[in-house]
């Protein structure tokens, strides 16, 4: 029974999450356990935070509304980087996968750019676009682009030659092949990459805010680090993680709608 299996899985997932929270609370409480790794038991909470204080900080941010301007900036930066990087990766992947000449010409340059630690581009983007939103979006685009590009490129290159030959026999032109064969073939690869790209888009936004900004969740985390407020640092990380999971969930919903034709796991075996 798939429904019962899913409920059991959710139960154990929530149980593991609760166990981790409980372990965090017990290990950082100065009164519940004797000193294990610090002579002063209060140092554990200082270095690892207190889950209750982290939750209180998150509640204070949202109840007072102080986090909304920062959260909005980070989410806009992330969404723009995610959308622009995905579109560029999709277009470039389709083009180069179908153009052997352009692919051979640009291959070493793309591999060189992909092997570059792109986080080091952040100061350059800050000089080019300033410390506003543009530099953060540019950094996020470089992180998202290559993941989408290489997945689309590989997906198009692995289109079955038999399917292409049959489509051409039926009179399909290049435009129809692109729409009905290449793009559907690439879409499963695209969505496989998008789940990773969500987190990298957040990385681009937050790293850019670290290097220089006056707004954003990354800015809040940087300010908390400057005052050794570990609870606020963890609270910022939790907020970013939750919203990254929400964006990933949106990608999953889009994937289910757009790839409705694709058989689910195990369905092909039943046929």
Using one digit for the tens of pLDDT, what is the confidence trace for 68-97?
888 898 889 998 998 999 899 888 888 887
pLDDT at 80: 92
Q: What is the dihedral of CA 20, 26, 28, 32, to 10 degrees?
A: 180
Q: How far is residue 18's CA from residue 240's CA, in Å, rounded to a whole number?
A: 20
Fold classified for 51-262 = MetI-like fold (1.10.3720)
pLDDT at 11: 83
Residues near 50 by Cβ (< 8 Å), separated by ≥ 6?
25, 28, 29, 231
Q: How is the chain split into domains, by residue range? A: 51-262
Angle at 123 between CA 211 and CA 144, to 5 degrees: 90
pLDDT at 154: 79
Q: How far is residue 216's CA from residue 68's CA, in Å, rounded to a whole number?
A: 9
pLDDT at 39: 57
Identify the segments of the chain with pLDDT beneath 70: 1-4, 30-47, 158-167, 170-171, 173-174, 178-180, 258-271
Locate all alpha helices (DSSP H) within the chain, ordered by sequence. Answer: 2-28, 42-48, 51-64, 68-98, 100-115, 122-129, 133-157, 161-169, 174-177, 183-211, 217-226, 230-258, 267-270
- Tell me how crowded residue 200 is: count the other CB atoms within 10 A of its CB: 24
Kindly report the length of the chain. 271
pLDDT at 259: 63
Candidates 205, 202, 45, 65; CA nearest to 125 is 205
269 φ/ψ angles, rounded to the nearest 5 degrees: -70, -25
């Amino acid at each position: 029974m798939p429904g019962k299996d899913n409920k059991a899985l959710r139960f154990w997932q929530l149980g593991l999450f609760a166990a981790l929270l409980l372990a965090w609370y017990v290990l950082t409480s100065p009164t519940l356990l004797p000193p294990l790794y610090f002579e002063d038991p209060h140092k554990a909470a200082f270095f690892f935070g207190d889950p209750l204080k982290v939750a209180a900080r998150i509640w204070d941010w949202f109840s007072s509304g102080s986090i909304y301007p920062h959260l909005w900036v980070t989410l806009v930066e992330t969404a723009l980087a995610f959308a622009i990087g995905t579109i560029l990766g999709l277009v470039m992947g389709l083009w180069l996968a179908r153009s052997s000449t352009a692919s051979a010409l640009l291959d070493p340059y793309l591999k060189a750019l992909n092997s570059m630690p792109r986080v080091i581009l952040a100061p350059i983007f800050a000089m080019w676009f300033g410390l506003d939103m543009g530099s953060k979006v540019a950094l996020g685009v470089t992180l998202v682009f290559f993941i989408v590009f290489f997945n689309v490129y590989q997906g198009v290159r692995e289109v079955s030659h038999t399917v292409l030959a049959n489509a051409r026999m039926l009179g399909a032109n290049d435009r129809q092949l692109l729409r009905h064969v290449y793009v559907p073939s690439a879409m499963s690869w695209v969505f496989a990459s998008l789940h990773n790209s969500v987190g990298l888009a957040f990385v681009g936004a937050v790293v850019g805010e670290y290097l220089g900004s006056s707004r954003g969740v990354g800015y809040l985390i940087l300010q908390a680090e400057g005052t050794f407020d570990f609870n606020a640092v963890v609270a910022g990380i939790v907020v970013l993680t939750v919203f990254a999971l929400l964006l990933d969930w949106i990608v999953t919903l889009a994937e289910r709608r757009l790839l409705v034709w694709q058989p689910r796991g195990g369905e092909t075996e039943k046929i």
